[in-house]
A and B are shown apart, each in its own frame.
Chain A
């Protein structure tokens, strides 16, 4: 596992995820103009009770807050699927 993935998992632990899955899609984006800075492309699914009663913008903000300054460097792009435990069981 890459250092970036491990660090993402470590930081996202503050959301007490019941399920966390991160895909590294960097290889599919190598070379395009926006990726010139070297940051990776990731897609994550995170299930947490912390998302209950929050709309999507608020949920994404929780994820961004948890990742903190990783968004300024190692993470160039991040697709987020933020679910509550109820939504995950459907």
Chain B
């Protein structure tokens, strides 16, 4: 299975997926750490996370998948939502909480 197929299965098989550097417990990049904090602030404590530092094929593949050049990347119900800036913006507007409501079981 190539990286694009793996990614498609990950984002469609899990309600909330975060591609990040490091893990939610030990983020290895400030932007990834912020993304985790925003999800937690939305009441989402359980989500599927992928540490791209451990998988170079996914690291490149996820940039191609969404045509988005940076990490972290958040997917909700298979849809690309955005990176750290967009998550913060949507959180401040209350939009992210709405999107996550009923999707993620905390």
Chain A residues close to B by CB (< 8 Å)? 29, 32-34, 56-57, 60-61, 64, 71-72, 77-81
Contacts and interface: CB of A to CB of B under 8 A. Distances in A.
A32 B28 contact: yes
A7 B21 CA distance: 27
Contact of B86 (A29, A33, A56, A71): A56
Interface residues of B, number: 20
Contacts of A61: 67-68
Interface string B65-90: 00111100000000011111110011
B75 to A, nearest CB: 12
Contacts of B84: 79
B103 interface: no
Given A34-B29, A60-B68, A79-B84, 13 more contacts: A32-B29, A33-B28, A34-B53, A56-B82, A56-B85, A56-B86, A57-B80, A57-B81, A57-B86, A61-B67, A64-B68, A77-B70, A80-B85
B43 interface: no
A32 B28 CA distance: 8
Contact of B85 (A32, A33, A72, A79): A79
The main secondary structure of chain A at its interface with chain B is helix
Interface in B2-34: 21-22, 28-31
A64 B82 CA distance: 13
A79 B70 CA distance: 10
16 contacts: A32-B29, A32-B30, A33-B28, A33-B29, A33-B53, A34-B53, A56-B85, A56-B86, A56-B89, A60-B85, A61-B67, A64-B68, A72-B69, A78-B70, A79-B84, A79-B85
